[in-house]
Structure 1
Amino acid sequence: ADGPRFLLTHVEDIAERKQREMQLAHRASHDSLTGLPNSAELRSRLSSRLCQRAAHTGALEPVDAAFGHPAFDAAGHGFDYRPGGAEAYDAFDHHVHTVAPEGERDDGTKGLAVLFCDLDGFKSINDRFGHNAGDAVLIEVARRLSQCVRDGDTVARLGGDEFVILADGLGKADAADLAVRLRNEIIQPIRAEGRAVRVGASFGIGWAHCGMTADEVLKSADERMYVEKRSRPKQHRRAG
Structure 2
Amino acid sequence: HRASHDSLTGLPNSAELRARLSARLCRRPHAGRPSAVDSLDAAYEHGFDFGHASLEHADGFDHHVHTIAPEGREGDVDDGTKGLAVLFCDLDGFKSINDRFGHHTGDAVLIEVARRLTSGVRDGDTVARLGGDEFVVLADGLGRADAQDLAVRLRNAIIPPIRVDGRAVRVGASFGIGWAHCGMSADEVLHSADQRMYVEKRSRAKQQRRAG
TM-score normalized with structure 2 length: 0.84
Partner in structure 2 of residue 169 of structure 1: 141
Partner in structure 1 of residue 196 of structure 2: 224
| Structure 2: gaps of 5 or more residues | 40-45, 57-61
C-alpha spacing 1:182/1:236, structure 2 compared with 1 (3 Å) = farther
Partner in structure 1 of residue 7 of structure 2: 32
| Structure 1: gaps of 5 or more residues | 1-25, 59-73, 76-83
Partner in structure 2 of residue 108 of structure 1: 80
Partner in structure 1 of residue 66 of structure 2: 97
Encode CA deviations 1:126-167: one digit per residue, 9 max, x unaligned.
Answer: 000000000000000000000000000000000000000000
Encode CA deviations 1:14-53: one digit per residue, 9 max, x unaligned.
Answer: xxxxxxxxxxxx0000000000000000000000011211
1:128 counterpart = 2:100: yes
Query: Which protein has the larger Cα radius of gyration, Structure 1 or Structure 2?
Result: 1
TM-score normalized with structure 1 length: 0.74
CA contact (8 A) 1:132 1:193 kept: no
CA distance in 2, matches of 1:166, 1:195: 32
Match of 1:215 among 171, 187, 191: 187
Encode CA deviations 1:172-207: one digit per residue, 9 max, x unaligned.
Answer: 000000000000000000011320000000000000
Partner in structure 1 of residue 49 of structure 2: 87
Whose RCO is larger (CA < 8 A, sep 6+)? 2
The 5 Å alignment of 1:1-240 reads: 26-56=1-31, 75=39, 85-87=47-49, 91-92=55-56, 94-104=63-73, 105=76, 106-233=78-205
RMSD: 2.2
Q: Percent identity?
A: 80
CA contact (8 A) 1:101 1:111 kept: yes
CA distance in 2, matches of 1:233, 1:158: 23
SS of the residue aligned with 1:85?
coil
CA distance in 2, matches of 1:39, 1:173: 27
Equivalenced residues, count:
190
